[in-house]
Amino acid sequence: MPIIGSRGAAATKAFGFTSGGLAAVDVDYMVLAGGASGGAHIGGGGGAGGLITSYPSVSPQITMEPGESFTVTVGGAGSSVGGNSSGNAGGGSSLAGPGISTISTTGGGGGGRWDGIAGNPGGSGGGGGGRSGSNYGSGIPGQGNPGGGSNWFGTGGGGGKGASGSNAPSNTTGGPGGDGLTTDIDGSSKAYGAGGGGAGNNAAGGTGGSSGTGGPGGPQSGGTAAVADRGSGGGGGAIPGGPGAAGSGGVVIIRGPAKSEFTVAPGTNTVSTAPGGQKIAKFTVSGTIQHG
């Protein structure tokens, strides 16, 4: 049965080998929920999905015994909205298996809408809709941050893993989304879990967090969708009736030493080798992983 391992060395267990000589491995993980959509019609930016990771230095890791299967759930993106609607929440993600407590994250909170409707709470919270003030959605400590508040026709940015969404800087300009977390857990540096930008009117919408992984808000139109498979929030839609853009789906990544022998299902998910030889299992849809 798997145990939680100590960083830097695999747990020593006499029963940690199969007859074929395959050893238990300590692995790192990142569990990221789906990002929310921005609100429509002077809508706030969507919040990023909640993110929990052990990489690169947070203990404990997970120990995977040969032959035992772990279940991975990947949260979907919050879909776009029209009319005068708040954004849709992202779906939650999780990692579960024998001998460990389930690691769960909460989907991002949708952006608020016109008439001061608040951004929704989530892993990271949605930005506030136009006409009010401190109407942002809250985030979950350890998973993300709150969104930003609105300023009449300027709306708040959605929260990200790395930072809160910004308040609207003026009564016509949307607030930027909060930055995500930049990590090379899959072998190359990427930003995950960024907030969507709030909408503006007759001026720029707020930029998405982390160099555009969260969708920018619309200046006088619809918001922009978040970059795929990053758990980020979509941009808010502007007046008149601009749609709130979709967030992006979550992802679960498991990183093991070179001796790992990962098998994943379904085939949409992948196993690759990082430049240092580590094995990377990446899930963009729900499935299972086995070592050996």
pLDDT in tens, 238-263: 877 789 999 999 999 999 999 999 99
Residue ranges of E strands in 33-80: 51-53, 61-64, 69-73
Q: How many structural domains comprise the chain?
A: 1
Residue 113 domain flag: yes
Residue 266 domain flag: yes
Residue 152 domain flag: yes
Q: Which pLDDT score is estimated for 106? A: 98
Percent of the chain with pLDDT over 90: 68
Residue 261 domain flag: yes
Residue 14 domain flag: no
Token pair 């085939």: residue: 267
Residue 161 domain flag: yes
Distance CA 254, CA 186 (A): 8
Phi, psi (rounded to 5 degrees) for 209: -70, 160
CB 90 within 8 A of CB 59: no
Closest to 283 measured CA to CA, from 94, 3, 106: 94
pLDDT in tens, 26-84: 999 999 999 999 999 889 999 999 999 999 987 778 999 999 899 999 999 999 999 88
Residue 260 domain flag: yes
CB 242 within 8 A of CB 222: yes
Distance CA 290, CA 60 (A): 19
Q: Which pLDDT score is estimated for 58? A: 78
Residue 12 domain flag: no
- How many other β-carbons are positioned within 10 Å of the β-carbon of residue 83? 11
Q: Which pLDDT score is estimated for 211? A: 47
Percent of the chain with pLDDT over 70: 87
Q: Which pLDDT score is estimated for 132? A: 79
Average pLDDT of the chain is 87
**Cα dihedral 28/33/34/36 (nearest 10):** -130
Which residues span the domain enclosing 241?
1-5+26-292
